[in-house]
C-alpha cells in the first residue's frame, strides 16, 4: 500500500472513532437528563403530598 492510502485509512478510522465517541457522549447525556428529570418529578410528587388532618406531615409518620 502506498503512503497516501495508509494516511487516508487512518484518517477514516479516526473519523469513525470520533463519530462513535460523539454518539456515545450524546447517549450518556440523554440518559443523565432523563434520570435527573425523573428524580425532580418524583421529588415534586413527594413534596406535594398533603398533610394529615392533625397537621403532622405524613412522611414523619412513615418513618
Average pLDDT per 10 consecutive residues for the chain, totaling 63 residues: 79 96 99 96 85 57 51
* pLDDT value at residue 3: 74
Cα–Cα distance measured from residue 56 to residue 25, given in angstroms and rounded to the nearest whole number? 46
pLDDT for position 27 = 98
Q: Taking the mean position of all CA atoms in its chain, how far away is CA 12?
A: 29
Alpha-carbon distance of 50 to 61, in angstroms, equals 13
The pLDDT assigned to 2 comes to 74
Model pLDDT, residue 7: 84
Amino acid at each position: 500500500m502506498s503512503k497516501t492510502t495508509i494516511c487516508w485509512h487512518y484518517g477514516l478510522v479516526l473519523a469513525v472513532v470520533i463519530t462513535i465517541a460523539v454518539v456515545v457522549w450524546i447517549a450518556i447525556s440523554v440518559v443523565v437528563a432523563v434520570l435527573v428529570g425523573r428524580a425532580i418529578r418524583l421529588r415534586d410528587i413527594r413534596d406535594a403530598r398533603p398533610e394529615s388532618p392533625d397537621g403532622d406531615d405524613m412522611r414523619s409518620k412513615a418513618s
